[in-house]
Amino acid sequence: MLFYVITILVIIADQAAKWGVRSNMQLGETVQVWSGHLQFTYYENSGAAFSSFQGYGKYFAIIAVLFVAGIFYYRRKGELRGPILEAATGFLVGGAIGNAIDRVIYHQVTDFLVFGSRGGILNLADLAINAGGLLVVVHLLKEPLKRVMIRR
């Protein structure tokens, strides 16, 4: 259940935020939210992370569909269980779907979040994917850390 709740919330929040940016900002416009820490800069990315592979976004939509299908396959097999993996895969799938929606409908992804002065431009789907990846690492380290703590 946690998987589905997180997936749906990520998709809704991501799409609502992107709609708000597209509706209220001009392409290239920057709005300071928290000086030196967070700004919104409206950017359309037709490629991948760090604006690489510009113009090949449709292929990343295919990769997202395959990734989501893989997650559902392994969930059905029962291999992705437990609250950490439920949350991790929810964030990963929600982020992948959020960006895939943009790629299919707009042929590019709306980015707008800039953290710090040297940060790249992200969106909520990207943040969810990062959170999911971090939770996967936490899951992978959980058992080895338990063994180390028991030995002490």
Which residues belong to the active site? 111, 126
Measured between alpha carbons, how far is 71 from 67 in angstroms, rounded to an integer? 6
* Residue tagged 């998987």 (tokens): 3
Task: Answer whether 114's CB lies under 8 Å from 78's CB.
Answer: no
Measured between alpha carbons, how far is 24 from 134 in angstroms, rounded to an integer? 32
Nearest CA among 119, 16, 107 for reference residue 60? 107
